[in-house]
Amino acid sequence: MASELTGALAQAMADLDEMKVQDLVKAGLAAGVSPSRLLDECREGMTLIGERFETGEYYLSDLIMAGEIFKVAAADLAAQGGSSGPAKGKVVMGTVKGDIHDIGKDIVVTMLRGANYEVTDLGVDVEPAKFVAAVKETGAAVVGMSGLLTISFDPMKETVDALKAAGLPVKVMIGGGPVSEQVREYVGADALGVDAQSAVALAGQWLAA
């Protein structure tokens, strides 16, 4: 019974069936399934969502919806003591100085958390010094910067320069509507994350044991 519940939970998550996810979480807890196992199933569903996005079956709006469903389920399970053990690694994320767009960043943050990465979300309009301070405080090995405006390119470059000046051995990925490979070269980042799923893949490559 427990295995049927958990398998169905991952599928419901992947199908973006919000009510079914909530019902299965409650049913799983009532049946004695550990919160950790249920959270793992939600993460598996998020992995399936990422795969559907890559194949074109899902779109940006679907990722936004998936993020909301996952956040609610994860919060409920965390309150019950849900944990999936040590995170795969630490990531600092933020929208750079001068830009207040956060939809894309929030999707990346949710997908990374869904893949069991510990993410420090600095929010929007983030100064370079704040990225540096967050990396020092958390020990993160990866920094992700988002920007939807062309004026974000220079702040991205300033942040990369600040991280290097601080002697922090981090990998940096950037993303956003106008960001291109040419912008990545100008900024000095290590990689361009064209979407949330590629950001998860980059984190996996960089943080693999």
The one catalytic residue among 101, 102, 125, 198 = 101
pLDDT along the chain (209 residues), means of 10: 69 95 91 86 89 89 90 82 73 96 89 90 97 97 95 97 97 93 97 89 88
| Contact by Cβ (8 Å): 39, 74 | yes
pLDDT digits (tens, 9 = 90+) for 142-171: 999 999 999 999 999 999 999 999 999 999
User: Is 99 one of the annotated active-site residues of the chain?
Assistant: yes
Give the angle 91-56-49 at the CA atoms, nearest 5°. Answer: 45
The one catalytic residue among 40, 99, 106, 121 = 99
The structure's pTM equals 0.78
pLDDT value of position 3: 56
Which residues contact residue 56 at a Cβ distance below 8 angstroms, ignoring those fewer than 6 apart?
A: none
| Residue 188 backbone phi and psi in degrees, to 5 | 90, 15
The one catalytic residue among 40, 76, 121, 152 = 152
Domains defined along the chain, listed by start:
2-79 (1.10.1240.10), 90-207 (3.40.50.280)
